[in-house]
């Protein structure tokens, strides 16, 4: 299928999911994850109406950014090593994987503009996943109160690969509840309005549970 065909199908699925939970489909931001995708296929996605691209490795991100530039909004969605911040921080528009103080310090040191960041939260507790423990998120946010190069716009998580829908929903609901607590504090540096959750296999469930940003690869550009 062409990217245009897959995008049309995805938008229909999003409409169906939003209808179930009485949401506006316009609230959902589709991030095309292009980490295993050629530059030509990525350009096809842009021509089809995809505005947001997600990459998780520095080298691939820089290669695509050099070719595509500001034709897209760039989301760095993978774990970012502190020593690599200087290489990507001036090209990205959003970071979805802020999860430690050392990374925040490096962003503060290197960035020449305020970077909208999602805090990555390991809701499922899997050892293989990065992210803060849910109980540590508020304290972390307070610890970077004076970092003017970072704005916490939301929370991000990766759900486990399980077949039981209720397990997925439980993870998404926990992240939403945590987001609500932080958002309601009205912190200037952490408005925390958004939820980056849901991938190709579970994005409709994530939307029903409150996702505002979905990160999809194989079902859109694969």
Number of H helices, E strands in the chain: 8, 8
* pLDDT tens digits, 62-102: 999 999 999 999 999 999 999 999 999 999 999 999 999 99
User: If you average pLDDT over residues 4-25, what whole number do you get?
Assistant: 97
Cα of first residue to Cα of last residue in the chain, in angstroms, is 9
* pLDDT tens digits, 106-141: 999 999 999 999 999 999 988 888 999 999 999 999
Domains of the chain: 3-216 (3.20.20.10)
Instruction: Name the pairing type of β-strands 94-98 and 73-76.
Output: parallel
Q: Is the pLDDT of residue 186 over 90?
A: yes
Quote the pLDDT of residue 163: 79
**C-alpha distances in Å from residue 131, one per residue of 22, 56, 122, 178, 188:** 30, 15, 5, 14, 23
CB 55 within 8 A of CB 73: no
Strand runs (DSSP E) across the chain, as ranges? 29-33, 52-55, 73-76, 94-98, 115-120, 150-156, 194-196, 213-216
* pLDDT tens digits, 190-222: 999 999 999 999 999 999 999 999 999 999 998
* pLDDT tens digits, 157-185: 999 888 789 999 999 999 999 999 999 99
3 state SS of 130: coil
- Give me the half-sphere count of Cα atoms (radius 13 Å) on the Cβ side of residue 155: 29
Q: Which two tokens stand for residue 131?
A: 């992210």
- Its pTM stands at 0.96
């Amino acid at each position: 299928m062409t990217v245009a065909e897959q995008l049309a199908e995805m938008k229909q699925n999003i409409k169906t999911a939003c209808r179930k939970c009485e949401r506006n489909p316009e609230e959902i931001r589709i991030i095309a994850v292009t980490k295993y995708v050629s530059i030509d296929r990525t350009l096809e996605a842009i021509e089809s109406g995809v505005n947001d691209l997600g990459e998780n490795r520095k080298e691939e991100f820089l290669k695509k950014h050099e070719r595509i530039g500001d034709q897209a909004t760039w989301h760095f969605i993978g774990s970012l090593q502190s020593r690599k911040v200087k290489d990507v921080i001036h090209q990205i528009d959003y970071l979805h994987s802020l999860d430690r103080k050392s990374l925040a310090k490096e962003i503060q040191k290197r960035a020449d503009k305020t970077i909208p960041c999602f805090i990555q939260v390991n809701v499922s507790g899997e050892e293989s996943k990065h992210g803060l423990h849910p109980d540590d998120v508020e304290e972390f946010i307070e610890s970077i109160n004076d970092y003017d190069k970072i704005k916490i716009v939301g929370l991000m998580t990766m759900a486990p690969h399980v077949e039981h829908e209720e397990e997925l929903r439980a993870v998404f609901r926990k992240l939403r509840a945590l987001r609500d607590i932080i958002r309601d504090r009205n912190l200037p540096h952490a408005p925390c309005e958004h939820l980056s959750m849901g991938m190709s296999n579970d994005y409709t469930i994530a939307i029903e549970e409150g996702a505002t940003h979905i990160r999809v690869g194989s079902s859109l550009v694969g």
